[in-house]
Each structure stands twice: as C-alpha cells, then as structure tokens.
Amino acid sequence: MTPGARLAAAAQILDEVLAGSPAERTLTNWARGARYAGSKDRAAVRDLVYDALRRRRSLAWVGGAGTGRGLLLGLLRLAGTDPASLMTGEGHALPPPTPEETGRALSDAPEAVRLDLPDWLLPRFQAALGDGLEPACAALAARGPVTLRANLARTTRDEAQARLLAEGIETHPDPEVPTALRVTAGATRVAQSRAYAEGLVELQDASSQAAVLRLPLRDGDRVLDHCAGGGGKTLAMGALKRLTLAAHDADARRMADLPARADRAGLKVDLAADPARAAPYDLVLVDAPCSGSGTWRRGPDAKWRLSPDDLDRLCALQDRILDEAAPLVAPTGHLAYATCSILPEEGDDRVAAFLARHPGWTPVDRFVARPDDRGDGFFQIILRRAGPGR
C-alpha cells in the first residue's frame, strides 16, 4: 500500500470508530477484508488509527473536523507533513485538502482540547494531578512503552535480557523496578521468541510490576487474585515466592489463557469459581475493573467513551468487590486494592469509603504511579486488619 492508501484506510476505520465501533475490532475486521495489506501496512494503519484516537480533540482542532479525515489532517500538520503530499486524490489516496479544511492553531485551543481530555474530566484531572497534569496528559497522548517482566522463578533479569538480545530483541533494564525490561527494539518479535515461549519473560507494564513487588508475600502464603483476568498479576506474584495461588474472575472466560500462561511460567494456579470455598487467604488482591484512565494510551477510545455515569457505576462496583473480598482474608492477612486509574474517585476515595464501612482495617502501604515514558498510571493500597497483624 502507498502511504496515501494507508492514510485512506485509516480514515475509513477512524470514521467507524468515531461512530461507536470498538477500535480493536474495527481494525481486525478491516485487516480480514484487506488481503492486499501486508503486515507492515497493517501495522502502519494501526499506528495511524491509534495515534489519531489518542489525540482526537487536539487533532480535530488542528485538522478542522472531528472526522477520520479531519483527525489525520491534524496528525499530518502537527508532524510537519504537508497533507497535500499524501492526500493527492490519485490511486487509493484521499482527495486533496480543500481551502475550507484549514483548521486552527493549537495554541488557540481551550485547555481540555490541548490536553486531549473530555471537558468533564479536566477538573478531575487537575485536582488529581496538580503540576503533573500536562506531563500525564502528554504521556496518555503518546504511544506507551512495551515492557517485559523477567520471570525470576526461571531466570535473572540479566539472563533474560541476554536471551532476548540473542533473538534480536533489545531491552533496557528499568532503573527502579528490578524485574522490568523496557523493549527498545524488536518489540514485534517478542510473542514469537523462545525466551517468551520458555516463560523467561511476560508482557507486563512497569507500574504494574512495581505494585506487585510491594505486596506482602511470604513463601507458603495462600493468595487469591480476586479479579484475575488474564492473570498478569497472578503470575507476577507466583514468580516472587512459593505460593498457593488461586485466581478468580466474575467472567471466567477472561481467565481462558491463564492455564497456558501458568504452564509456561512453571506455576500452578487454581482457577476458583467460588473463592470463598478455599478461604481464608493470607493475601487477597483486588485488581478492580476501572476506567483504565492510567492506561488510556493503550486503548484510547475508552478515554472518549467514559461518561460520569460510567464512572459512578465503576465506583459502585469497586465498592461491592471490596466488600466481597474482605471477608476472604485471614485474621492476620492483607487485602490489596489496585486499579490502573489515576482518578481519585477510583483510588483514595474508594479506600476511604471502604474504611468507613469496615473500621477494622488499616492501610499499611500506598503506591501511586502517573503515566510517563516508563510506565502506566496505577494505584494500589495494601490494607491489614487492625489489631495485632504480622
């Protein structure tokens, strides 16, 4: 495909996403129908779509319209590329820009537009981030890093790094998270690499790894990952200590890949349909469903879809899951609550509400990460039952 044809494909996909179709599914459907598109074309179109969605408001401003075409006009202008050089109207390329499609200067845009936030979220982000508002929004508007976790149950980080390098995957050790390797070249090879197949590394964001490293885990502990999903945190915990691991998810289908991933990592994980049956646990981790606001660069359509009502519903669900999980903790055990959100409504506010309902608990550790070039935004609090603990 020519660069102009890729742009035209991205414009069409973006129009479908803007009309409400989920980005990932729309891209997959397009790729299925576009037999002429090679893997490089698919990757380039995908990058265009995601780059445009992350900066949807600012690009619409600069591009002059909130359509797929408008966003791409904005993207080209902000990259210093003359849109007329790619929108030529020839072959499969989009028609050339018209005199009406001039757009406006980003410096004249309101703050929420410049920061690529929905209006209703701006005051919440301001309150939550203070001076960190602009860098966090810039991070959410850019591509996120690809980070691996060295599986310390199988290897050291140095060894994992060397094995990856031998397969053409270059990484950089995170200076603060001792398990994390940021991929600097060859990211598309990871899933097919032997290092990955042999369970030496897993894909996991550095902030999420940092949070798991703070959990109070001891050899022999009984641990429940109460919202396990694909099991990223279950596996990260299992790599650190010899644990009896149980994983639960209200939607068991989300754990479908967990047995294979556990096998690869050399771990045994019990998939618990009813986690109360094996209670109590020394640690229950609630990695709750949330807005994902700390990870919006990875699924940017969610940033534009979230409504205040959605956020209220998520907060109510987070409260309910915490109430379900707390009785599963042993008298001397811990309850950890985590979200990949930077909104206080889903973090400290939920903890305060929990403590008001359950005065028998006390926080012992709090971890907050903002999205940056090292990792995603994340929140975690570790609670222990008040009174003599461990």
Ligand X SMILES: C[S@@+](CC[C@H](N)C(=O)[O-])C[C@H]1O[C@@H](n2cnc3c(N)ncnc32)[C@H](O)[C@@H]1O
Among 114, 172, 254, 358, binds ligand X (CB under 6 A): 254
Q: Please state, in angstroms and rounded to a whole number, the distance separating the CA atoms of residues 378 and 205.
A: 10
Please answer whether residues 337 and 381 qualify as being in contact, where contact means their C-beta atoms are separated by less than 8 angstroms: yes
Does the annotation list 365 as a binding residue? Answer: no
Binder of ligand X out of 227, 269, 271, 335 (CB under 6 A)? 227
Using CB under 6 A, pick the residue from 174, 249, 301, 372 that binds ligand X. Answer: 249
Which one of 124, 149, 182, 233 is in contact with ligand X (CB under 6 A)? 233
Task: State which of residues 228, 262, 326, 351 lies at the interface with ligand X (CB under 6 A).
Answer: 228
* 57 counts as binding ligand X under rule CB under 6 A: no
Starting from the edge strand earliest in sequence, which strands make up the sheet with 180-185, in order? 170-173, 180-185, 147-150, 201-203
Cβ distance to ligand X smaller for residue 167 or 348: 348
* Tokens encoding 156: 């050291």
For the four alpha carbons of 180, 185, 189 and 194, in that order, the dihedral sign comes to negative
348 labeled part of a ligand binding site: no
Cα(first)–Cα(last) distance of the chain, in Å? 62
Q: Given the rule CB under 6 A, which of 1-9, 28-36, 194-202, 250-258 is the region that contacts ligand X?
A: 250-258
User: At which residue do the structure tokens 């973006």 appear?
Assistant: 14
| Residue number, 96 or 230, with CB nearest to ligand X | 230
Nearer to ligand X, 45 or 211 (CB): 211
Contact 83, 327 (CB under 8 A): no
Q: CB under 6 A: which stretch of 228-236, 299-307, 341-349, 353-361 binds ligand X?
A: 228-236
Q: How many Cα atoms sit within 13 Å of 262 on the Cβ side?
A: 22
In 3D, which of 8, 54, 60, 50 has the Cα closest to residue 27? 50
Among 137, 227, 290, 340, the active-site one is 340
Q: How far is the CB of 250 from ligand X (least distance, A)?
A: 3
Q: Quickly tell me which residue has 């959410």 as its tokens.
A: 140
- Please give the residue ranges that form the binding site for ligand X (CB under 6 A): 226-230, 232-233, 248-251, 254, 287, 289, 321
**Active site positions, annotated:** 340
